[in-house]
Amino acid sequence: MSDDDSTNENDDTVSADGPSDENVGDVNVGGDSAEAEGPTENENTDVAEAGEPTDDKVVEEGPKSQSLPEALDKFQIELPAQVVEQLDLYCRVLWEWNTKLNLTRHTDYDTFVARDVVDTLMLSELLAPDEEVLDIGSGGGVPGITLGIIRPDLSIGLAESVGKKAEVLNDIVSQVRVPQAVFAERAESLLEEFRYDALTCRAVGPLWKICKWFEPHWGAFRRLLAIKGPKWVDERKEARHRGFLNKAEMRKASEYIMPGTESRSFILKLWRKGTPEPTPEIPD
């Protein structure tokens, strides 16, 4: 199918043959980020790519929260005390490393909650209990480490090919006590040997690049969940134009408002063309 005026942001299921007409409902929560050159080289810091969620001057009204519980209360998010404690420790360890190596732009509690926690919570709703997950281009650890804290039932590996960042990830998971394996290599290499229920990513590159990277590996995982910004439709057109959606189906799995803005974030689900849509059993 060629791209034309009939294609719009309300199209949910996409393949080389075209989209369906189902719509995803709104959820009033948030998104973020930036791009790097490869699926395991996520800068996740300064320059947001066209299709990635952006900060959009979020949470600038009023004084900044001085603690994680205060920020969570501001955005009306309730989490178990142990989860809050681990997330707070993660923030402190990450921000300390960030003074030495550029890992994140989200260096205050409000932005961390409105972007990183919200994205992680929305992503967690799409994963069934005890699934095997590989986070691509983990960078500073979002969503991989934050997902592991919020959903300890999941088995999550972190793929980060930049050696210094992989070392940082190892230190963070050790200090925060999240039982996650860190792989200092590209995700494509891991898929030559391992199989996963889901791949996750945020701000690793446009859709055409993601589809290109994993074109030979669609059989090595059931689905890929990509957090994207409002220009994902443009990315889809580019991926189609380059022919990289010929081997994949795609559905808009989640759509939600970024807190403090009028912008929306999206989670796209991609899976191998010609196979049934992966629909894991997720408890209410």
The model's pLDDT over 175-226, given as tens digits with 9 standing for 90+, comes to 999 999 999 999 999 999 999 999 999 999 999 999 999 999 999 999 999 9
The model's pLDDT over 21-67, given as tens digits with 9 standing for 90+, comes to 333 333 333 333 333 334 434 444 433 443 455 555 555 567 999 99
For 164-169, what is the mean pLDDT? 98
Q: Domains of the chain by range and CATH? A: 27-53+65-272 (3.40.50.150)
| Residue 283 pLDDT class (50, 70, 90 cuts) | confident
Reduce the secondary structure of the chain to three states and give it as a string. Answer: CCCCCCCCCCCCEECCCCCCCCCCCEECCCCCCCCCCCCCCCCCCCCCCCCCCCCCCCCCCCCCCCCHHHHHHHCCCCCCHHHHHHHHHHHHHHHHHHCCCCCCCCCCHHHHHHHHHHHHHHHHCCCCCCCEEEEECCCCCCCHHHHHHHCCCCEEEEECCCHHHHHHHHHHHHHHCCCCEEECCCHHHHCCCCCEEEEEEECCCCHHHHHHHHHHHHHHEEEEEEEECCCHHHHHHHHHHCCCCCCEEEEEEEEEECCCCCCEEEEEEEEECCCCCCCCCCCC
Q: What is the pLDDT of residue 21?
A: 34
